[in-house]
A and B are shown apart, each in its own frame.
Chain A
Amino acid sequence: MKKSTWIILGIIAIVAIWAVSANNKINVKQENATSKWADVQADYQRRKDLVEQAINVVKGAGNYEAGTLEAVIKARNNAPQLDANDLSEENIAKFQNAYDKMAQEMTRAINVTVERYPELTATKNYQEFQAQIEGCENRINVSRKKFNEAVQAYNTTIRIFPTSLIASIFGHKPMGYFSASEGADEAPSTEALL
């Protein structure tokens, strides 16, 4: 073969190696963001499980308003799971809204019950529940923050030249972030429940 053929082959090989390694880099970052999503999902699941406990606390009060419980249960059933392959801005916002609504309904039901039955605050059940709500919200905040950081790293990689070329060839799409919903950047303090 002629010398020029060798040179061309060499250049092609170098470009191919670069493309593969760039694509790998993108994949690693994507994988990282998806695994952080799993943590977010697990923490939201914890909030969902907490609703069961809230229902028990409310029921434990005996003298509760059935309507408030129905609203909580309905909000809980509407809280979706979100596939890690479909993390668009829009889907994340929907997911977040559904869970925030669930938390609001839960807080409301507890507040209404406490108003009618103030002795409830002194029970061990209720105090443990408060500590758990706090821990749950803290975990959600931390995992959301870590997810956002991972998404940012991924999105930056696929948007800057020259890796952006590879990203468009292999069809890597940008992922959505969590936005701070009203009052969500601060974990509800236990006083907020009273």
Chain B
Amino acid sequence: MLLTATFAAYAQSQYDETGWLPSKEDHLVYDYYGILSDTEKQQLEERLVAFDDSTSNQIVVMFTPGFGGRDISSFAFELGDEWGIGQNKLSNGVVIVVKPKDQTDGQVEIATGLGLEGALPDIFCKRIIEDVMIPHFRDNDYYGAVCAALDIILPVCAGEYSYSQYKEDNSMSLGSLVLAIFIVAAIFWLVYKLDKSSGSHGGGHGGTYYGGNTRMSSWGGTSWSGSSGGFGGFGGGSFGGGGASGRW
């Protein structure tokens, strides 16, 4: 009696607690199940980071024993939306969630961001799951299953959104650039005018000028940080329920 009670408590892990959602970290592969080896995990991570760097498409792979009391699909959509996987305007994110088979059935979900629903239609994801991933899963080859799925998904996503397209979408338009220059010029002119009319040349004025300058540089810093090295962070993409799931 006591034994079954402790076992039940053990089985009811944090992953099954209602509302559980992992907190966002700066990488793309998450293995809460501990099913990948360190090298496999690293290779997968490098592949996905490189793909994000070169095409701006963000793909998250997660192995988890539970979905916070939701079904696997809702879990994947909520994760994608909460974390903002994919770029903001393109919504080019994909979430692949796998629950390995143990006492209970194995489950897998490929959730597509709103911007990729056209390139990866539900039925296409279903085919990847049934024809490509599940045969590997049945052989307990979890790494191979994900790699084989990525072999198909990556080229398709790259065809939909390239890095240059992302850049184009995010670069300032000519109009807003002109406006920005105009505003900056106006501020400088105002500072200059105030300086003249106040007549004093104390440190107070120097302070304002300097203040403006630091703000500019910190703004530049936040916008363009993290573009080199590891994964630079999620872009704010959203999910609308596209994708497919499977069981084995």
**Which A residues lie at the B interface, using CB under 8 A?**
39, 43, 127-128, 131-132, 134-135, 138-143, 186-187
Contacts and interface: CB of A to CB of B under 8 A. Distances in A.
B88 interface: no
B77 interface: yes
**Which 8 pairs show the lowest CB-CB distances between chains A and B?**
A139-B241, A135-B122, A138-B241, A142-B241, A131-B126, A131-B123, A138-B73, A128-B123
Nearest to A127: B126
B240 A134 contact: no
Interface of B: 71, 73-74, 77, 122-123, 125-126, 239-245
A131 B122 contact: yes
A143 B239 CA distance: 10
Given A131-B244, A134-B245, A187-B71, A142 B239 contact: yes
24 contacts: A43-B241, A128-B123, A131-B122, A131-B123, A131-B126, A131-B244, A132-B122, A132-B123, A134-B126, A134-B244, A134-B245, A135-B122, A135-B241, A135-B242, A135-B243, A135-B244, A138-B74, A138-B243, A139-B240, A142-B239, A142-B240, A142-B241, A187-B71, A187-B73
Given A128-B123, A132-B122, A186 B242 contact: no
A141 B74 contact: yes
B114 to A, nearest CB: 10
Given A132-B122, A135-B122, A187-B73, A141 B241 contact: yes
A143 B126 contact: no
A170 B77 CA distance: 37
Nearest to B71: A186
Contacts of A140: 241
A43 B245 CA distance: 19
A164 to B, nearest CB: 30
B143 to A, nearest CB: 25
A43 B77 CA distance: 16
